Amino acid sequence: MGDSHVVFGATGALGSAIVRRLAADRTPVRAVVRDAEAARQLLPASAGIFVADALNRNSVLAACRGAGVIYHCVNVRHSRWSAQLPLITENILAAAKETKARLLFPGNAYGYGPLRTVPAAEDHPLLATSKKGRLRIALEDELMDAHSRGEIRLVIPRFPDLYGPYVTNPLMAPIFEAALAGRVATWPSDLDVPHSLLYIDDAAAACVLLAATDSAYGQVWHVPGPGPLTGRQFLEAVFRAADAEPKTKALSRTLFRLFGIFIPDAGEMVELLYQFEQPLVLDGSKFALAFPSFSYTPHDDAIRRTVEWFREQSSR
């Protein structure tokens, strides 16, 4: 096992945040990317850049030489999950086995399906009702089985929806862009249902902390943020930070289905709308007890920083 921290998906929102965090801590970090030029513009100069294709096993193995910790932050468009994520995960698993590196695999709440208990702890049953949720369960099971057999060491942080700089997914980017432009910002399904939300830099800090903690491995950890907000509370906070009058609207299932005719990823979201139709609140007490010095960025501060980032992007 080496001492480098190797981050796959290093130009994505979470991957790049982890690279920045490691670089700030002066930890040797190798950013695995497909586009070196884009990576150099995005990532700290101290980060090593390695061009690789996560769909190619030999390429992944080469990227992981000398790795001490591997962060599997590769994500693909929802419409490509089934076709690509299993192979990518198998390749990264093979590299973790070969190099004896530890593996961190960030997750989400898709595998739970509609929550039976609120807030949901890590022992909530895995009752996914969506294709993506069932796929997440299968991938996590494959990796945890390898951990149980002693082939790798694995830790899984589970996050709610993330927001912050570089988070430009179809849920978050339109909200911040609308607030800055004085347009109506939309939220899926119900504006008044509580929803855990986490600032991207806090997610990265939690990943680095868990990766460095021997006792964290072999476990799932909820990292839910400073507290849930309703969609309305979140949107209104974004508009306040943008110095704009709130303009908010809920998008129905019917509209998502209609958008899905023209935008595949919007159609893929329909099966996950239950997360916005009823509370999605994760219990973070296990993480808080194990890491009492870890502090979340308050939502108002995190939202303000995110608005500032989107404002800078719009002025370029």
* Chain position carrying tokens 């009823």: 278
Q: How far, in Å, CA of 226 to CA of 230, rounded?
A: 13
| CATH number of the domain enclosing 250 | 3.90.25
Rounded CA separation 142/182 (Å): 46
Q: Which residue, among 130, 123, 128, has the nearest Cα to 112 in the 3D structure? A: 128
Number of domains in the chain: 2
Q: Are residues 255 and 205 in the same domain?
A: no
SS3 content of the chain, % helix, strand, coil (to 5): 45, 15, 35
Note whether 250 and 257 are within 8 A (CB): no
Identify the CATH number of the domain in which residue 88 sits: 3.40.50.720
Q: Do 221 and 265 have their domain in common? A: no
Return the closest-CA partner of residue 254 out of 309, 170, 185, 189: 189
pLDDT at 263: 53
Same domain, 150 and 176: no
Distance of CA 58 to the CA centre of its chain: 26
Q: Which domain holds residue 272?
A: 172-194+228-281+297-314
Residues 64 and 209 in one domain: yes
3-class secondary-structure state, position 74: coil
**Position 193: which residue type?**
V
Same domain, 252 and 133: no
Q: Indicate if 110 and 250 belong to the same structural domain.
A: no
pTM for the full predicted model: 0.95
What pLDDT shows up at residue 1?
65
pLDDT per residue as tens, the chain (316 positions): 677 999 999 999 999 999 999 999 999 999 999 999 989 999 999 999 999 999 999 999 999 999 999 999 998 887 788 899 999 999 999 999 999 999 999 999 999 999 999 999 999 999 999 999 999 999 999 999 999 999 999 999 999 999 999 999 989 999 999 999 999 999 999 999 999 999 999 999 999 999 999 999 999 999 999 999 999 999 999 999 999 999 999 987 766 655 554 455 555 678 889 999 999 999 999 999 999 999 999 999 999 999 999 999 988 7
pLDDT at position 267, please?
A: 54
Element (H, E) at 85: helix 81-99
Tokens of 107: 């997750």
* DSSP assignment letter at 115: -
Report the Cα 121 to chain-centroid distance in Å. Answer: 18
User: In terms of domains, do 104 and 184 share one?
Assistant: no
The CA distance from 251 to 116, in Å, is 24
Instruction: Quote the pLDDT of residue 255.
Output: 66
β-sheet bridge partners, residue 282: 120
Report pLDDT for 261: 43
185 and 72 part of one domain: no
- Measuring CA to CA, how many Å separate 171 from each of 16, 41, 67, 174? 19, 25, 34, 7
Are 45 and 30 in the same domain? yes
pLDDT at 117: 97
Q: Is 97 in contact with 145 (CB distance < 8 Å)?
A: no
The string of DSSP codes covering 117-149 is SSSB-TTS-----SHHHHHHHHHHHHHHHHHHT
Sign of CA dihedral 266, 140, 72, 21: positive
**Residues 106, 178 within the same domain:** no
**DSSP structure string for 277-305:** HS-B-B--HHHHHH-TT--PPPHHHHHHH
The residue written with tokens 């198998």 in the block is 90
User: From the CB of residue 207, how many other CB atoms can be counted at a distance below 10 Å?
Assistant: 28
**Contact between 102 and 214 (Cβ < 8 Å):** no
Half-sphere exposure of 112 (CA within 13 A, CB side): 25
